[in-house]
Amino acid sequence: MRKLIWLVVITGLAYTGYWFIGAKSTEKAIAGWASARASEGWQAEYSGIDTHGFPLRFDTTITKPRFADPRTGVAFSTPQFDILSQSHRPTRIRAQVAPTATLATPLQRMEITQDRAEAELFVEPGPSLTLDHASAVLNGFSVTSNLGWGVTLETGNFNTQRDISDPFKHDIHLAVQGLTPSQGLMASLDPQGLLSHQFEQLELRMTTTFNGPWDIHALEGPRPQPTHIDLTNLSAKWGKLDLRMTGAFDVDGRGYPMGTVAIKAVNWREMIEIAISTGMIPQNMSNLALRAGEMLAGMSGRKDTIDAELTLKDGMITLGFIPLGPAPRVVIR
């Protein structure tokens, strides 16, 4: 009996030592990462780092973190950022952001509020913390820009799973419901009042191959960039507008897509008019885009529906031989 008591005491002391060593190592690793970024010219500041949760958890709270990357011009700050994990599963990490945050880019500054903003990451053991799979949830999300626009979001869910056969490939799923632009943004997006006030649903499913792994180094230097995208489904519903897209394309070194995408658009004329009013389709191309839409809708058998294939090449989007305008760049800052 005495031996059993001593065994329990020794085991308890050993585990207590493990927990405190792990807690201090976590705090030291975060402080070391911030110090390394500061030596590279970043703004990497915080007012405190504290780990609690003994004996079953490593819950680390970073108070008033402020980070800015000089290479991209992106800056982020929030009153509190929590990194949570179980002591027996330290490679399963949950991150929570405070109800308010600020995100700034070289173009604008955005104030963010949310009822819930958290992400769960499963990483491989080792110093690189390579991402295996992750999920994120947003509830009651709101963004206001100093450029005068804003959006609110009821719910948003994001998931990514790394492919077993290719460590640079991820299966990605995004679902958004209840996206509501501000009145100012609606006025610029839809000056003719063609749309409802709320973007009812958006869903994205795709498999993306990157030029490098998503790990701790992706936060320190250039972000991994997409090189190939298999678009399984992109569906968006906004009032009477209904858009669906599928296809596959490569992404060149400048971020321009090269390939083909099948598109089905219901009430396509309103979509083109919105694209013209927002500048996505140049004004001098508007008549050509509308005539092309009429021709393609006639081929599909319904005047309000386009069922066709877009070609992405040389930084442009074309329908057959008809250019529609510049293609969007696919670049992660």
pLDDT for residue 110: 94
Calpha distance 45→137 (Å, rounded):
26
Confidence of residue 320 (pLDDT cuts 50, 70, 90): low
pLDDT for residue 1: 62
pLDDT for residue 142: 93
Strand runs (DSSP E) across the chain, as ranges?
A: 43-45, 48-52, 57-63, 66-69, 74-77, 80-86, 89-97, 100-104, 109-113, 116-123, 131-145, 150-162, 169-181, 199-210, 226-238, 241-251, 257-266, 305-313, 316-319, 322-326
Going by their DSSP bridges, the two strands 116-123 and 43-45 should be labelled as: unpaired
**What are the pLDDT digits (tens) for 249-264?**
999 988 999 999 998 8
What SS3 string covers 254-294? CCCEEEEEEEEEECHHHHHHHHHHCCCCCHHHHHHHHHHHH
Query: How far, rounded to the nearest angstrom, does the alpha carbon of residue 17 sit from its chain's CA centroid?
Result: 39
Distance set, CA 60 to CA 51, 137, 313 (Å): 4, 20, 47
User: To the nearest 10°, the Cα dihedral for 270, 271, 276, 282?
Assistant: -140
| Token pair of 272 as six digits | 């083109």
Other C-beta atoms lying within 10 Å of the C-beta of residue 204: 17
User: Is a pLDDT exceeding 90 seen at residue 165?
Assistant: no
**What are the pLDDT digits (tens) for 17-65?**
666 777 787 788 888 888 888 888 888 899 999 988 787 788 899 999 9
pLDDT for residue 321: 67
Other C-beta atoms lying within 10 Å of the C-beta of residue 285: 16
pTM of the model: 0.78
Calpha distance 216→128 (Å, rounded):
6
**What are the pLDDT digits (tens) for 174-215?**
999 888 888 777 777 666 666 777 777 889 999 999 998 998
Gyration radius (Cα) of the chain, Å: 24
Backbone angles phi, psi at 12, to 5 degrees: -60, -45
**What are the pLDDT digits (tens) for 260-293?**
999 888 877 777 777 776 666 777 767 777 777 7
